[in-house]
Structure 1
Amino acid sequence: MTTRRGQRQGRGRAGRKRRRTTWKPVAVCGAALLLQLMLIWPVLRPYVAGALVLGVLGSVAWWLWHTDRAVRGRDRAWRREDAVRAGHRTLAEVDVMTGTAFEELVAALCRRDGCTEVRRVGGAGDNGADVVGRLPDGRSMIIQCKRYAPSRTVASRDLRDLLGSRVHFGADVAICVTTARFSRPAQTFAAGNGIGTVHRDHVGLWNSGAALESLLGVSGAGQGDNRHRVRWKKTYG
């Protein structure tokens, strides 16, 4: 029994000696490396400083890139939400817009449909054009906006003025957009002179997602038969 205990104690002392012996070379090597680093530090210092500067610049560049992505993402999300809100806009909301706001709406819908160089030019001295730009196929266009009460009609004299504006601007296409209807003489004049007419029903379709060019394809087809006009008068007076 005593012999086993003595053997265990002997083995414990031997283990402690070995552990102490193992740490000594490590300490010596560490001291040597530290001394060597102190000796070559003047040579390494510019490289270390350069690495630190590059690290800082890299961190700043990454932060700017990450921030730019976040801002662009929020902007895209806002534009998608705005497009959804615009698509859900009702004609009743359009009816209470100011003339300027209606022109801005028309310009925004043109941009949505791929028109380029679109800008609102309505106001004093607009020479009969409220919005100008180019259709997706490259043709130049001018648009006259008439935010009228639904019970009103656009007269043929308004379209004669628009025809003169097309000549003045040298535009390929002239379009009249209204929240009302076109009178029969106005519709006949537009069809005979190649003027696009977007009446109230078409504005509703356009605002809900129909493309402008698809509306221009049916603008010369009139505004329904007599029954349609009767329903219109019952609805709007």
Structure 2
Amino acid sequence: MTTPARRLSRDGRRSPFDLRATALYFGLLALLLCVLGLTARAVAAAFERRPGWIALLCLLAAASTVALRRGRRRWTARRAARRAAAALDAATRTAVEALEPPYTPDPAPVEAPPAIAQESSVAFDGYGCGVVDYDVLDADEFEQAIAALCERDGCSQVEVVGGAGDLGADVLAVTPDGRRVVIQCKRYGDTHRVGSEELQRFGGTCFTVHEADVAVLVTTSDFTAPAAEYAGLCGIVCLDGQALRAWHDTTGPRPWA
């Protein structure tokens, strides 16, 4: 069994062991392994978004392998450090570009079309009040329609005050002869009749709080018998749906007449 002879230099002496060069070599090798690991991780993450990058990275790896084989014998520690740094920089840029989404400019703001005014359910003619279907109006529109009737029939200082805290008054007006009218509006369905409790609540505020000369409760439905009896005792004018349409068509009396 023969023992391999230690390599000799040209002058016949053995080459001294260089610890510094060996440590640098292994350090560069470890750095290269880290670069390869980060590159593989970036490739795996980029594969889900852009499979086309896999082909490019494979070509880069093949080119690096060929270059390593050709120049392996001529590499020095300094050249290996430069190439390792260049490979690390290229791999980092490739991974960042693969992971970042493509840039898309922000879309130009779209101007909103001009608002189109909604057509009111109440159509007014030259006499102050036009064709009105009271059954399809909501509560606010119903109050506006009653106020329009008052204006049509010569009332002044007509004001819609219905809302939270109105204390039973929805429409206020002054008749042509100077009397103060306080109107409460109840836009109900045919099967929902105004009861005595609602008349009592209105009767408790229309005269004492609002100082009404004429108190009117107008509804699109009807009144119960106790409610009509209470209104008669307190002097409150009750207009049901039929009387309201007669007022609107000028075939019936005005509430303050």
Provide TM-score, normalisation by structure 2: 0.49
1:88 to 98, 114, 131: 131
Looking at both structures, which has the greater relative contact order when contacts are Cα pairs under 8 Å and sequence separation is at least 6? 1
- For the 8 Å contact 1:159–1:186, the answer to whether it is kept is yes
Contact 1:180-1:200 at 8 Å conserved across structures: yes
In structure 2, relative to structure 1, the CA distance for the partners of 1:85 and 1:121 (3 Å cut) is closer
Selected match of 1:109 from 143, 149, 153: 149
**Aligned-pair CA distance for 1:87:** 4.1
RMSD, matched Cα:
2.1
Cα–Cα, structure 1 residues 212 and 117, in superposed 2: closer, same or farther, change >3 Å? farther
Q: How high is the TM-score relative to the length of structure 1?
A: 0.52
Q: Calculate percent identity across the aligned residue pairs.
A: 40
Q: Secondary structure at the match of 1:125?
A: coil
Q: Does 1:199 align with 2:236?
A: no
Alignment partners' CA distance in 1, 2:129 and 2:213: 28
Q: Deviations over 1:46-67 (max 9, x none)?
A: xxxxxxxxxxxxxxxxxxxxxx
Structure 1 residues 52-83: Cα deviation after superposition (integer angstroms, max 9, x where no partner): xxxxxxxxxxxxxxxxxxxxxxxxxxxx9724
Name the count of aligned residue pairs. 134
Distance in 1, matches of 2:200 and 2:134, equals 26
More helix by share: 1
Pick aligned residue for 1:158 from 174, 198, 208? 198
The one-letter code sitting in structure 2 at the alignment partner of 1:118 is V
Q: Tell me which amino acid in the other structure corresponds to 2:179.
A: R
Q: Is the contact between residue 88 and residue 208 of structure 1 (CA under 8 Å) also seen in structure 2?
A: no
Instruction: Find the counterpart in structure 2 of residue 176 from structure 1.
Output: 217
> Are the equivalent residues in 1 in contact too, given 2:180–2:212 (CA < 8 A)?
yes
Q: Deviations over 1:163-201 (max 9, x none)?
A: 112111111111000000000000001111100011100
Deviation of residue 207 (structure 1)? 1.5
Conserved? CA contact 1:130–1:143, under 8 Å: yes
1:37-116 correspondence to structure 2 within 5 Å: 82-83=125-126, 86-89=129-132, 93-116=133-156
Look up the match of 1:118.
158
**Which residues of structure 1 form unaligned runs of 5+?**
1-79, 218-237
How big is the shift at 1:88?
3.4
Which whole-Å CA distance do the structure 2 matches of 1:134 and 1:85 have between them?
16
Say if 1:135 and 1:96 are closer, same or farther in 2 by CA, change over 3 A.
same
Q: 3-state DSSP class of the match of 1:119?
A: strand
Structure 2 counterpart SS, 1:168: coil
Q: Matched residue of 1:114: which SS?
A: coil
Kindly state the Cα deviation for residue 209 of structure 1 after the two structures are TM-superposed.
2.2
Larger radius of gyration: 2
Do the aligned partners of 2:167 and 2:205 also contact (CA within 8 Å) in 1?
yes
8 Å CA contact 2:128, 2:151 repeated in 1:
no
1:186 has 2:227 as partner = yes
Number of the residue aligned with 1:231: none
The residue type equivalent to 2:209 in the other structure is H
For residues 113-147 of structure 1, give each alpha carbon's deviation from its aligned partner in whole angstroms, at most 9, with x where no partner exists.
Answer: 11111100001111110001112221111100000
Q: What amino acid is the match of 1:156?
A: S
Matched, 1:131 2:189: no
